[in-house]
Amino acid sequence: MKEAAVSVLPVTLIVLLLNLFSLVSFTTTETVVFLCSAVALIIGMALFNLGADVAMTPMGEQVGAGLPKTGKVKTLLLVAFAMGVFVTVAEPDLSVLASQVPIDSTTLVITIGVGVGLFLVLGVLRVIFRLNLAHLITFFYMLMFALAALILANEGANFLPLSFDSGGVTTGPITVPFIMSLGVGVSAALGDKRDRESSFGFIALCSIGPILAVLLLGLFSEGSVQYELPVYEVNADAGSIFHELLLKCKEVAIAIVPIVAFFFLLQFLCLKLPKARILQIIVGIFYTFFGLVIFLAAVVIGFMPIGYKMGEQLASGNPVVLVAFAFFLGMTVVLAEPAIHVLNRQVETVTGGAVRKRSMLIALSVGVGIAIALSVIRAIFDFSILYYLIPGYFISLGLSFFVPKLYTAIAFDSGGVASGPLTSTFILPFIIGVCAVLQGESKILLDAFGLVSMVAMTPLISIQALGFKAVASKHLREKIAMRRILGEDDEQIIRFM
């Protein structure tokens, strides 16, 4: 509860201060609903994080570590593909994005699910054959931008922001704990015990698959998709709130049941965990379920409409203030992403404290703050997302050749994790509100979408910059130590003479 409160309160205070100083104007009903949603958000996040620790992470680790022991690589790859599809098709973040875009949601979700499943298989193969993560990512990013160029030539520019966004929303609160722990389990069973970075990189690869899949969908689609602005309104009616809770219960149940059913099938066939451990996992699943229901209902009821209204009202003011606010908002919102805390704990554990949670959080906050600010600038000046993504990925891939592999793997995982449910349900409506005022509804799909891909990209640079700083500091310390040693030797020679 303490960790969740520290994460959510900064965002809440920002909204209240904006209202207090009349930079935005909310009704009493909107303010009360927002405050109640913030309290619910804290409770939901606390329950979810507890459930992730007790159930989701251990389930992934047991599947990842248990299946290789059967000695059947084909079975492991088949299970990896199935789990990738299941956790993605059921990911609540993906449902939120699909509800805000003008494409058949079933087609979009299945396309993205297959993309994640295939690249989770590639992640397992990377561990088995000791493939270099940086080389794999470089190859697939080159392929990604080649497909983007083909889509532009085919007059399907509206598909580009959505394609890149799809890579970020697939790595949400259900997917991250399971896939990351699956990677840790597979790496522990099949990887080199000295090769810590092989535990990471699964999220990074699973973020590429959906982008390629949706780009291919856009390439073979006829014409350009048109956007229709959703209704963003705060509704304090008890019946509407109860309906939203029931809807989220259904969505989260659809998300969790296939994973749990698959896990218990594997438990019956090959894992054979003790009853006490299974009971603990069952309790953790209930924590995860109720935590996610409360969390997602709170962001949809209170945070999504407030985010849109903030964007609308701030866009009418000074552009410099708008960009500065967007940077500060990005820095604080990332603290409230539940999967961020799962990643940071796992990074500190796997690296034995070499990469601290505090350093990770600062680097991610700065990266996401820059991403939101740049997205607002794009909404102001109306230009293609590729002007950001091409140089951004070029820099991040360039850094991967100069920093330790561990930092590269963590950075590319962080990119997917940073773009969680609060990004798609609070920041995306905020950017849509800004774009609706500055550019009109016709430009929203082109100028507002792409935000999630920016949030997924900037941590790649900030985390690797952290690694670059660590390498530079190490070289500097070694140089100073060497000079001291050489200086002492000179003094000994003079004294001897």
Give the Cα-Cα-Cα angle 428, 337, 359 (nearest 5 degrees): 120
Q: Containing domain of residue 455, as a range?
A: 2-496
CB distance 245 to 37 below 8 Å: no
Q: Which residues contact 447 (CB under 8 A, 6 or more apart)?
A: 161, 378, 379, 382, 435, 439
Residue pLDDT, tens place only, 254-299: 878 887 887 888 888 777 888 898 999 999 999 989 998 998 899 8
In this structure, are residues 299 and 99 in contact, taking their beta carbons and an 8 Å threshold? no
* Percentage of the residues of the chain whose pLDDT score is greater than 90: 20
Which pLDDT does position 60 carry in this prediction? 76
- Which residues of the chain carry a pLDDT beneath 70? 67-71, 90, 92-93, 96, 99-100, 102, 155-156, 172-174, 191-199, 222-228, 338-339, 342, 346, 350-354, 416, 420-421, 487-497
Give pLDDT, residue 137.
87
Per-residue confidence (pLDDT) for residue 2, from 0 to 100? 83
Tokens 């002007």 belong to residue: 387
What number of CA atoms fall less than 13 Å from residue 234's CA on the CB side?
Answer: 22
C-alpha span between 166 and 348 (Å, rounded): 28
Task: Identify the pLDDT of residue 285.
Answer: 92
Which tokens hold the place of 31?
Answer: 């303010």
The answer to whether residues 164 and 211 touch, using CB atoms and an 8 Å cutoff, is yes
Number of domains in the chain: 1
What's the CA gap between 306 and 300, in Å, rounded? 10
